[in-house]
Amino acid sequence: MCGILAFFSARGDAATQRDAVAGALECLHHRGPDETGVEVVSAPRAPGADETVEGPTDAVFAHKRLSIIDVESSHEPLAYADGRYLLTFNGEIYNYLELREELVRECGAVFATQGDAEVVVAGYHHWGEQVLNRLRGMFAFVIWDRRERVAFGARDYFGIKPMYYMDSADGVYFASEKKALLALAGPRPVDAASLSHYLTLQYVPEPRTLHVGIKRIGSGELFRWTPGGGVELERWYRPVFRPAPVDDEQKVFDRIRDTLRDSVRVHMRADVPVGAFLSSGIDSTAIVALAREFNPRILTFTVGFDVDGYSEISVAQDSARHLGVTTIPTVIGPQDMMDALPKIVWHLDDPVADPSLVPLYFVAKKASEHVTVVLSGEGSDEFFGGYTIYREPLSLNAVQRLPDPMQRGLRAVSRVLPQGVKGKSFLERGTTRIEDRYYGNARMFAEAEKRDLMRRNDGSVRYTDVTAPIYAECTELDDVTKMQYVDLHTWLRGDILVKADRISMAHSLEVRVPFLDKEVFDVASMLPVELKLPPRSTATKHALRRALDGVVPPPIVNRRKLGFPTPTRVWLRDEMYEWARDILATSGAGDLLDLDYARNLLEEHRRGDADHSRKVWTVLVFCVWYGVFVDHTIDPGIERNPSALLTKPAVRAAV
């Protein structure tokens, strides 16, 4: 796992940016504290040019390395094919051994390292852009072809690893985290549309960021860049659900189990210790149960709170005993949460108002004291139908099958019913298309509420701006699978994977997610609705649970999902009330948000008039973000130890 930063000059003067890029790279130190590499790449010389005269330079490549595979070698930036290519790579390729063997056997490839990064650039040399479809893993990388003067790069299938970019007249920058680009760009205005989406979704959706002029390469996207042109983006992978009838259910269950077992096996490839997160649910427990088949002594880590109903530690400990593995618990309190939030927000780059970030921060910190890599259970719910809300279309079938005139009549009835009357919400949802009703797991502020909260909101930005193009790609699917498809492109990318990457890397810990494997998705994508959400049942992920029966402890097979629950609701009424009140009173974000409106929400929450905890938390996280990244009134308290600077030529000559 690593941090990458690259600059490609449109003017042939990349060398002038070498020191600035090297300085900005230090913002990514946490992603790779083991080694630092910075190289300037010269442009091809004209025939007969005087080689004693310094020529133009095309690029600066910079890299922070967390050494996991081929620890003693595989230094980056990494050159290949006699220096024709230079690579900076972030991620892990789990089938690199198989690809390496194929490249040697079929293409005569020669390797100087034993790592997975060189397989990526060798694959690009021999297979071109089609190398992407052969990679099994998580990745974000940049390759410069000195001969053709073309930059090429991509993000992985599901967006596990991040990539930001900033285009300008001088050239283009790419980085693992936005903060490195901000260090180069200086102050940037807040993007009002992105703020509006954040207040609805609790995260900023791809490809946007909260800073104008800085964007993300989308999940499953590649890019190309040449000195004479801008960034050309292309989607190289789109997950396709293709539900099909099942003749033999047991064969399906067996295939799910066997595919997941193989994914866990390859995800454990490393030259450093590998552990696992363990909560009370089936996803992480399944990963641990399968991982111990390959390492019976695997260490696991769990987290909880000293508040009734908000700790998974006891269940995780029972599962660990059943599986015969050790689990190391961490208990956190409200002061821990308050103290850590500025650091967490700094690592996130853009605000994510998911309270589970806090327990994840502390369990990752504890894990990093023992291992360098952990396995985690992200992606299972989106692949296999794990969210309770996915049952909603099944419950609304009776209404949605009615003729349109009857639906319009029921919709009119729902409008005149007072708020809180039983059946009002059911009629509203049942007479509203899924495309207008569902936009993800998190639903913070409604459009009417945002008109009161936001200082600048003309109502022109809506959640459908994000979801409409996604729905347009899956018109042939049933409503349940449409919801999964939307979550794959929004919630998973914007919340789940952002927090998994940033919060683990905050502690120089690599998180691997065996569910988010293209082979696992191929199996999950074919499941019909009745095998995900069986009729006349409240269960979710039915096929996965059946597949894991006998693998995970019996009490866990049908246990409902919790996912590191956080007592924000409780603490904002008591221990964290004054802290929250102080943030709202001193924040400089009042030019963008009506903080009096937010204070009223906090007071109503404290009195018990309503549960506004998630809305208040959404505003608090933004205020902390504003203080860290905009007016710099909040010091996140980031400390760094220097990493070794690799000794390499200041300028690498072109071939």
DSSP category for residue 57: E
Residue from 457, 404, 459 nearest 433 by CA: 404
Task: Say how far apart CA 156 and CA 219 lie, in whole Å.
Answer: 6
HSE at residue 632, side-chain half, CA atoms within 13 A, is 4
> Which pairing describes strands 299-305 and 274-277: parallel, antiparallel, or unpaired?
parallel
Residue from 176, 620, 600, 588 nearest 358 by CA: 620
| Residue 113 token pair | 């390292």
Distance from the Cα of residue 239 to its chain's centroid: 16
| Residue 548 token pair | 């894991």
Residue from 4, 201, 209, 200 nearest 89 by CA: 4
Residue 311 and residue 359 in contact, taking contact as beta carbons nearer than 8 Å? no
Long-range CB contacts (< 8 A, 24+ apart) of 208-211?
209/164, 209/178, 209/349, 209/350, 210/350, 210/351, 210/625, 210/629, 211/178, 211/182, 211/629
Task: Say how far apart CA 623 and CA 588 lie, in whole Å.
Answer: 8
The residues, any chain, with a CB within 8 Å of residue 550's CB and separated by 6 or more, are none
Task: Give the 3-state secondary structure percentages of the chain, helix then strand then coil, rounded to 5.
Answer: 45, 15, 40
Task: Say how far apart CA 364 and CA 374 lie, in whole Å.
Answer: 9
Task: Say how far apart CA 117 and CA 87 lie, in whole Å.
Answer: 8
Task: Say how far apart CA 344 and CA 341 lie, in whole Å.
Answer: 5
Cα 28 to Cα 178, 180, 188, 342: the distances in Å are 10, 7, 19, 17
> What is the DSSP code string of 63-76?
EEE---SSTTS--S
| Residue 128 token pair | 């071109």
In the beta sheet, which residues pair with residue 450? none
The residues, any chain, with a CB within 8 Å of residue 11's CB and separated by 6 or more, are 170, 171
Task: Say how far apart CA 119 and CA 190 lie, in whole Å.
Answer: 40
Residue 376 backbone class (left: φ over 0; alpha: ψ -120 to 50; beta: rest):
beta
Which H or E element spans position 286?
helix 282-291
Task: Say how far apart CA 576 and CA 595 lie, in whole Å.
Answer: 17
Query: Is residue 474 annotated as a catalytic residue, yes or no?
Result: no
Residue from 18, 21, 59 nearest 41 by CA: 59
Catalytic residue among 2, 27, 474, 623: 2
| Residue 57 token pair | 């330079």
> What is the DSSP code string of 144-193?
EETTTTEEEEEE-TT--S--EEEEETTEEEEESSHHHHHHHH----B-HH
Residue 479 and residue 4 in contact, taking contact as beta carbons nearer than 8 Å? no
Q: Which of the residues are catalytic?
A: 2
